[in-house]
A and B are shown apart, each in its own frame.
Chain A
Amino acid sequence: MTDTSTHAAPPRKRSILDTLELDTRLLGMIGAFAVLCIGFDLITEGRFLTPRNVFNLTIQTVSVAIMATGMVFVIVTRHIDLSVGSLLATCSAVMAMTQTQFLPDTMGLGLNHPATWAITIVAGLITGVAIGAFHGWLIGYLAIPAFIVTLGGLLVWRNVAWYMTSGQTIGPLDSTFMTFGGINGTLGETWSWIIGIMAVVLALAGLINARRNKARHGFPVKPLWAEAFLGALTTAMILGFIWMLNSYEIPVRRLERMFEARGEIMPEGFTASYGLPISVLILIAVAIVMTIVAQRTRLGRYIYATGGNPDAAELSGINTRMLTVKVFAIMGALCAVSAVVASARLTNHSNDIGTLDELRVIAAAVIGGTALAGGIGTIYGAILGALIMQSLQSGMAMVGVDAPFQNIVVGAVLVLAVLIDTIYRKRTGAKR
């Protein structure tokens, strides 16, 4: 067949891509991300791809990325959620008030009591799920368009948060709670390697298992070298990321303070690294769970089916109204998780927490290939989308682009990404 695809890739290379059965869309996004990173690194003379900046970039992305995975489900079912930033603020306010006022006043559990952080997070999750499910009920059962319900929610929940905290910044927060924010909670070198190696083992086991399953049913499988290559690539990427985070050393003065706090004296020449932040671990866990839900559960199957053809889903006996409630409840839960990460990172609850996050989250999902027409979208795409947006923003800040131009560029990139995606889909659609 004639090769009409993008880029002037030679036919041989195309066949290799086909053999690997890799998603060319994903490759395109990774390519764009790589170009972005290397470009900024060259312009800033190597300041962009330092362990320190990679670390910061990662922890800045987590909050938006977590919500973006939920936004994929919302958009795939042909809805939209404009209230996620405000919902994050309400969850954050509930959690801040729970740990600083409610628990100390009513149960006598002070800040830093071992149960405080857990009760706080449960309270936040309940708030998020309840509000999300309520949105879903209004949309699914009362048939109010999601745009309107969540536009109302944007105003309502932002100001519920304001009312609850009287507009004050609430802090400091529980010390265990704050470990979920990023810099204040990292695993250190050894544990980061252990987690990294566990991830490699799981990924390889997944590859082998998938191959066995296919072979058992007599389906065609990839050649062994292709599987081996994919395995090696995954391993290299996971371990490379861990190595990068492990290279970011804790500043000497901060280390000295940590030793002082324990009443010890720091040995001469002692060094330690931050390693994997707990917030990134949360994001990875969310990504894995959401991917399993999307690909391996009935709920996920029904979400995509409903997005592809709501009538067909209904006629197949799927309760699409209840499905809407579930999708928005998941979105609410993820807003609560993001609220934990965001307020812990800031070490307090501020009145403007999560402002404009709804736009970042929607943009991340859309840049990641989620189609607003519904039925199409991936979890990893949304996370990559969030990462691309954050890199663009912090890269431009590092280069010294003026603030207005930063937003102009981000806006233009959003539109351009959707344009490229539309063209790509047309081409591949025609090829089939």
Chain B
Amino acid sequence: MKGSTARAQGHTPLVELRDMCIAFGGVHAVDHVSVDLHAGEVVGLLGHNGAGKSTLIKMLSGAYQADSGEIMINGEHATIRNPRDARSYNIETIYQTLALADNLDAASNLFLGRELVTRLGMVDDDAMEAETRKIMHRLNPNFSKFSDPVSALSGGQRQSVAIARAVYFNARILIMDEPTAALGPHETQMVSDLIEQLKADGIGIFLISHDVHDVMKLCDRASVMKNGQLVGTVDVSSVTDDDLLSMIILGKHPHEQAAGQPS
């Protein structure tokens, strides 16, 4: 695989989160965690609810500010203080909550914060709708409710709006927080296909999930977290479902007793 090769050849990782820490009122939500991601690679972040995987990734997407730690992008130090900074590094996020403004239509949500404007600086709704129609035609050909507020859409349709928003703006780093949690089998397949396609385009993807099967199917590597700490990072091809499960539940690294996996 492309990502694995890039990693094997010792390329600089696309993203490196080094020794990240964040605490909320004395609770160490993320405690000295380091993970990395290469171009064209999918890294799964696994763990129970409250393991700290979403919190870790929110430091990369700018929603939270780390207490300590360093974010490197293409080997260079990156300062991410808010979502705008993250977007300037081409980091796009699909949040578990989708982060859609329910009262606005699909186009307004897709372009929120990055509206297309006319020469007079006015919001160009027609141009945005035209662009939205184009990308939705690619992602979800059944999508037709372009003038309704997104509150009127089904779970799958809302998800496609959130995905379209992340994909449209040429993301290099994509964060997907439980992208298939609210979807039916057909739409889940759609997301899987999309991930394959984005990988082929050389985009690095962090996939947050608590579903081991998803991770086994879609990811190249998996990092497992428990109680705010990193249990370990493994190549998905070298472990079984049960290995991952025991990492999640027991916090035990599968190769520790066997080979003494280099960290």
Contact = CB atoms under 8 A, between A and B. Distances in A.
A213 B126 contact: yes
Given A301-B108, A301-B112, A317-B113, A311 B126 contact: no
A315 B95 contact: yes
A368 interface: no
B126 A375 contact: no
A254 interface: no
B108 A312 contact: no
A390 to B, nearest CB: 29
Given A308-B101, A309-B100, A316 B148 contact: no
A312 B99 contact: yes
B83 A375 contact: no
Contacts of B95: 315
Interface in A273-305: 292, 295-298, 300-302, 304-305
Contacts of B121: 297
A217 B129 contact: yes
Interface in B78-106: 82-84, 87, 93, 95, 97-104
Contacts, number: 84
Contacts of A376: 103
Q: Is the interface of A mostly helix, strand, loop or mixed?
A: helix
Contact of A315 (B93, B102, B127): B93
A346 interface: no
Interface string B121-141: 111001101100000000000
B113 A375 contact: no
Interface residues of A, number: 32
Contact of A298 (B109, B117, B130): B117
A205 to B, nearest CB: 15
Given A217-B126, A296-B123, A311 B99 contact: yes
Contacts of A297: 121-123
Tell which of A298, A307, A375 has the most Cβ of chain B within 10 Å.
Answer: A298
B63 interface: yes
A219 B113 contact: no
B152 interface: yes
A105 interface: no
Contacts of A315: 61, 63, 83, 93, 95, 99
A1 to B, nearest CB: 14
B112 A316 contact: yes
B104 to A, nearest CB: 6
Nearest to B121: A297
Interface string A355-380: 00000000000000000000110000
Nearest to B93: A315
Given A314-B83, A316-B83, A301 B123 contact: yes
A230 interface: no
A309 B97 CA distance: 11
A315 B93 CA distance: 9
A318 B112 contact: yes
A375 B103 contact: yes
A306 B108 CA distance: 12
A308 B102 contact: yes
B101 A305 contact: yes
Interface in A397-424: none
B214 interface: no
A308 B104 contact: yes
Contacts of B103: 304, 307-308, 375-376
B196 interface: no
B113 A318 contact: yes
A25 interface: no
Given A217-B127, A317-B87, A375-B102, A432 B115 contact: no
A214 interface: yes
A301 B123 CA distance: 8
B252 to A, nearest CB: 35
B131 to A, nearest CB: 10
A317 B126 contact: no
Nearest to A431: B152
Interface string B31-51: 000000000000000000000
A7 interface: no
Contacts of B152: 429, 432
A297 B120 CA distance: 10
Contacts of B93: 315
A304 B103 CA distance: 8
Given A301-B108, A305-B112, A313-B112, A375 B101 contact: yes
Interface of B: 61, 63, 82-84, 87, 93, 95, 97-104, 108-109, 112-115, 117, 121-123, 126-127, 129-130, 148, 151-152
15 contacts: A219-B126, A296-B122, A296-B123, A297-B122, A298-B117, A298-B123, A301-B108, A301-B115, A304-B101, A305-B104, A309-B102, A315-B83, A315-B93, A316-B99, A317-B113
List 8 tightest A-B contacts by C-beta distance, closest first. A308-B103, A308-B101, A316-B113, A375-B103, A317-B84, A312-B99, A432-B152, A305-B101
Interface of A: 213-214, 216-219, 292, 295-298, 300-302, 304-309, 311-318, 375-376, 429, 432
Given A214-B126, A301-B115, A305-B108, 13 more contacts: A218-B130, A296-B122, A301-B112, A304-B103, A305-B112, A308-B103, A309-B102, A311-B97, A312-B100, A312-B101, A315-B95, A315-B99, A429-B152
